[in-house]
């Protein structure tokens, strides 16, 4: 059930003293090969954290042999000193594992604007290296948790190979913290170029469609490592399907664990002129504080859906939009239709369906409602 389910990987999670609670806060994942192909995607935020600045360079040659991750501090907006900390951590991993630092991806998560204690991190790397185990995936998944209430893991089985994964965070930017971190592993034989194609296809319809609060992290990192230990080379299509399944499963785990949320909302846009239009419309609704607060209040306020759609550049006729909530078509042709009183918003899962009547493409964007707990948790985090 973990990143160590595929053959060729060891992992560990240990307490390094970054979290005041003494909980695990440093994870190490090592690819023992025989292959070391990798691909990664990072936040598109221009203000990137030091670990992202480092790791973007590391991944360029398609080879990654280890990933080291810490919670308890994002190492973001910490200047040259912070970058040196990231570099020192990568060097220590390289030294212990017997590889080059240029093959070590570093990820950090926690509060931004605070320096991470370098000595704690280095000692943590030593402890994690000593604890590396072929069944250590769950320990690693625990060590990257911040305000996550549960650790998130997944395994998808292929024909003689598998994909494992772990994640922390909630959406584009976890309500309290700064980051979504995801490590995926596979023992399939997939070269770096194909991994890149598969990863971009998988994230495009999973993590990229998750928009918890419209904020964009400084630290988001998704890395996939392929050991080739199964000796089996799946088709790119089969591998992409498995990777997409793993990413979607983790994305739904992130959505369900968004701090403070009472509802998971799936916004599906039908009959768009193209997929970009569908995503833009879905995202505009996902970012409407008014609509999200209404869902929290169990109020099927479809007018706020139309008002959000109207802010986009997508192709549609403003006078001919249909909207359903939980299957009740409360709006047809931009006018009231079925009685909104028939929309039951008691359950956590809410579906919004929008028919643009402008083409044949579609997309689903996921978000959460806007709750008192969201405001509370985000108003009281760093103090």
Calculate the CA 179 to chain-centre distance: 8
- E strands, the chain, are 9-14, 26-31, 37-42, 66-70, 104-108, 152-157, 162-168, 181-186, 221-226, 264-272, 322-325, 328-332, 335-336, 349-355, 361-368
Sheet holding 181-186, edge to edge: 37-42, 221-226, 181-186, 162-168, 152-157
What residues from 143 to 202 belong to the interface with a copy of itself (CB under 8 A)? Answer: 173, 175, 178
* Tokens at 244, concatenated: 């997409």
CA contacts within 13 A on the Cβ side of 79: 3
Question: 76 vs 247, which CB is nearer to a copy of itself?
Answer: 76
Question: 119 vs 317, which CB is nearer to a copy of itself?
Answer: 317
293 is a site residue for a copy of itself (CB under 8 A): yes
The helix/strand/coil state of 305 is helix
According to the annotation, is 168 in a ligand binding site? yes
According to the annotation, is 108 in a ligand binding site? no
The helix/strand/coil state of 33 is coil
342 is a site residue for a copy of itself (CB under 8 A): no
299 is a site residue for a copy of itself (CB under 8 A): yes
235 is a site residue for a copy of itself (CB under 8 A): no
Q: How far is CA 323 from CA 112, 339, 368, in A?
A: 39, 12, 18
Closest separation in Å from C-beta 127 to a copy of itself: 28
According to the annotation, is 152 in a ligand binding site? no
Binding part of the chain for a copy of itself, among 85-93, 190-198, 244-252, 284-292 by CB under 8 A, reads 284-292
Binding part of the chain for a copy of itself, among 111-119, 135-143, 153-161, 246-254 by CB under 8 A, reads 111-119
**Dihedral, 140, 31, 63, 235 alpha carbons, nearest 10:** -100
313: Cβ–Cβ under 8 A, 6 or more apart, which residues? 280
18 is a site residue for a copy of itself (CB under 8 A): no
Binding mask 206-225 for a copy of itself (x = CB under 8 A): -------xxxxxx-------
324 is a site residue for a copy of itself (CB under 8 A): no
Closest separation in Å from C-beta 383 to a copy of itself: 5
Catalytic residue status for 179 = yes
According to the annotation, is 259 in a ligand binding site? yes
The helix/strand/coil state of 297 is coil
The helix/strand/coil state of 323 is strand
347 is a site residue for a copy of itself (CB under 8 A): no
Question: 25 vs 259, which CB is nearer to a copy of itself?
Answer: 259
Cα–Cα distance, 199 to 287 (Å, whole number):
26
Q: Which of 43, 179, 218, 221 is catalytic?
A: 179
47 is a site residue for a copy of itself (CB under 8 A): yes
**Scanning the structure block, which residue is given the tokens 């080059």?**
100
- Residue list, annotated binding site for substrate: 146, 168, 179, 259, 378, 383
Interacting residues with a copy of itself (CB under 8 A): 45-48, 76-79, 82, 111-115, 173, 175, 178, 213-218, 287-290, 293-294, 296-299, 301-304, 306-312, 318-319, 321, 331, 333-336, 370-372, 374-376, 378-383
Which positions are catalytic?
179
Q: Which residues are annotated as a binding site?
A: 146, 168, 179, 259, 378, 383
């Amino acid at each position: 059930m973990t990143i160590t389910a595929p053959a060729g990987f060891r992992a560990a999670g240990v307490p390094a003293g970054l979290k005041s609670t003494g909980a695990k806060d440093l994870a190490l994942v090592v690819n023992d090969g025989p292959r070391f192909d990798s691909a990664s995607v990072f936040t598109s935020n221009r203000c990137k954290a030091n670990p992202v600045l480092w790791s973007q360079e590391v991944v360029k040659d398609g080879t990654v042999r280890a990933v080291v991750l810490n919670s308890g501090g994002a190492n973001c907006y910490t200047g040259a000193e912070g970058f040196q900390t990231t570099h020192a951590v990568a060097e220590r991993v390289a030294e212990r594992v017997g590889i080059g630092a240029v093959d070590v991806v570093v990820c950090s998560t926690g509060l931004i604007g605070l320096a991470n204690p370098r000595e704690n991190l280095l000692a943590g790397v030593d402890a994690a290296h000593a604890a590396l185990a072929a069944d250590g995936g769950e320990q690693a998944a625990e060590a990257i948790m911040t305000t996550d209430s549960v650790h998130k893991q997944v395994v998808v089985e292929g024909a003689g190979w598998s994909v494992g994964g772990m994640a922390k965070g909630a959406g584009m930017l976890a309500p309290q913290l700064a980051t979504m971190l995801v490590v995926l592993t596979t023992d399939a034989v997939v070269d770096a170029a194909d991994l890149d194609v598969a990863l971009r296809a998988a994230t495009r319809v999973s993590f990229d469609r998750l928009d918890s609060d419209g904020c964009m992290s400084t630290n988001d990192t998704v890395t996939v490592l392929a050991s080739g230990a199964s000796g089996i080379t799946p088709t790119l299509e089969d591998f992409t399907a498995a990777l997409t399944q793993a990413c979607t499963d983790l994305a739904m785990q992130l959505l369900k664990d968004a701090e403070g949320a009472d509802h998971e909302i799936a916004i599906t846009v039908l009959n768009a002129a193209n997929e970009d239009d569908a995503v833009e419309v879905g995202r505009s609704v996902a970012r409407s504080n008014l609509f999200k607060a209404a869902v929290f209040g169990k109020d099927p306020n479809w007018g706020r859906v139309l008002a959000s759609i109207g802010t986009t550049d997508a192709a549609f006729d403003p006078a001919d939009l249909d909207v359903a909530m939980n299957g009740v078509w409360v709006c047809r042709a931009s006018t009231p239709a079925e009685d909104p009183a028939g929309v039951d918003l008691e359950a956590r899962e809410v579906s919004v369906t929008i028919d643009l009547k402008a083409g044949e493409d579609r997309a689903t964007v996921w978000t959460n409602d806007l709750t008192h707990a969201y405001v509370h948790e985000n108003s009281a985090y760093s103090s």
